[in-house]
Amino acid sequence: MTVVKRTEGCYEVQDVEFGKVYRWEPGSVMVECDCGERTTLTRLESVCMRCGTDHTHTVLKILAVQQLEDETLHPWRYAGDREGAGLPC
């Protein structure tokens, strides 16, 4: 029997040079800037609306990682197979 865990709405928090990044759906990332602004950014819109910090480098890096993970079938969905993995989702 297969148990499928619903993981929609989960996200991982990742510390980056200009603040925090919340990995969200492929193609966009939610970024918490050092200025406190939380905004969803894409590779085309990656500048903080509030302070103007350019997050392009970070966004591209995160999206590249997301793409790798997509290609390996969203590994966090199988976290239950690993005992004590302690993943948030």
Q: Which stretch, 8-16, 53-61, 63-71, 74-82, contacts Zn ion (CB under 5 A)? A: 53-61
Residue 39 amino acid letter: T
Query: In this structure, what token pair is assigned to residue 88?
Result: 């948030």
Residue 50: C-alpha distances to residues 15, 34, 36, 76 (Å): 19, 10, 9, 32
Please tell me whether residue 53 binds Zn ion under the rule CB under 5 A: yes
Instruction: Put residue 15 in one of left, alpha, beta given phi > 0 → left and psi -120 to 50 → alpha.
Output: beta
Nearer to Zn ion, 46 or 66 (CB): 46
For the CB of residue 17, give the shortest distance to Zn ion in the complex, in Å: 12
Among 29, 31, 33, 59, binds Zn ion (CB under 5 A): 33
Residue 30 amino acid letter: M
Strand-pairing partners, residue 29, are 23, 41
Please tell me whether residue 20 binds Zn ion under the rule CB under 5 A: no
Please tell me whether residue 50 binds Zn ion under the rule CB under 5 A: yes
Among 13, 51, 65, 68, binds Zn ion (CB under 5 A): 51
The residues binding Zn ion (CB under 5 A) are: 33, 35, 37, 48, 50-51, 53
